[in-house]
Amino acid sequence: MRIDIITIFPEIFTPLDVSIIKRAREKGIVEIKIWNLRNFSKDKHKKVDDKPYGGGKGMVLKCQPIFDAVENIKKETPESKVILTTPAGILFNHKLAQDLSKEKGLIIICGHYEGVDERVVEICDYEISIGDYILTGGELPAMVIVDSVVRLLPGVLPEKVPIYESFYNYLLDWPCYTRPRNFRGLKVPEILLSGDHKKIEEWRKQKAIEKTKEKRPDLYEKYLKEGGIDDTQKS
């Protein structure tokens, strides 16, 4: 997969050079390119924003540099899907990450200032938000999307690891423990020390259901609607 990110702050993306994403890039599983939007500006001062028509606060990213940046990238990756990070977008979740991980390429436009010229929407396949709160720009949402998508690509994580994580089948992950067995009187559940892998698997599923029901009842309801069974309700 190839991921292109269009931003006015390319220096922000250093986290994409560490850990799992770094290894995925080194293996050639994903190619990530950062593009400085100012390089596509036709303004002699490399301005990429302007005052909004009709007046009002803040500045708006102009459509010309964004259109030119996307068209330039599309010459190399014509099949890439274009994403705009925006508070007006659909809420990002695990299902959407799975869908995006199946694409050949992604072009992510990082919004900034008061927003982007509305005409940019015309060249986007997705408008995505990572939550109902305000950030200074779209760079952090872009990194969230990249991190979530890349780890789902084949070969990035050990086989089957993703299906045991939170949000798979709408369930949160089960409780995890490591050494020591007893820390300040807080003990590891005996079932995890039993060596009985079948019983451990049953316990983990039960705890995942209980945890989801308690902490995320919205996900629990989706789990049930999708045919999930809650054995903890049986008497």
Residue 233 has pLDDT above 80, yes or no: no
Looking at the structure, tell me whether residues 178 and 76 fall in a common domain.
Answer: no
Q: pTM to 2 decimals? A: 0.89
Look over the chain and give the mean of its residue pLDDT values, rounded to a whole number.
93
Asked whether residue 32 is assigned to any structural domain, the reply reads: yes
Name the more confident of 76 and 231. 76
Scored b (16 or more CB within 10 A) or e, 61-99 reads bbbbbbbebbeebbeebeebbbbbbbbebeebebebbee
Looking at the structure, tell me whether residues 128 and 214 fall in a common domain.
Answer: no
Which of 150, 181, 203 represents a domain boundary (last residue)?
150
Q: What is the pLDDT of residues 111-146, one digit of tens each?
A: 887 889 999 999 999 999 999 998 999 999 999 999
How many distinct structural domains can be found in the chain?
2
The range of the structural domain enclosing residue 120 comes to 2-150
Asked whether residue 159 is assigned to any structural domain, the reply reads: no
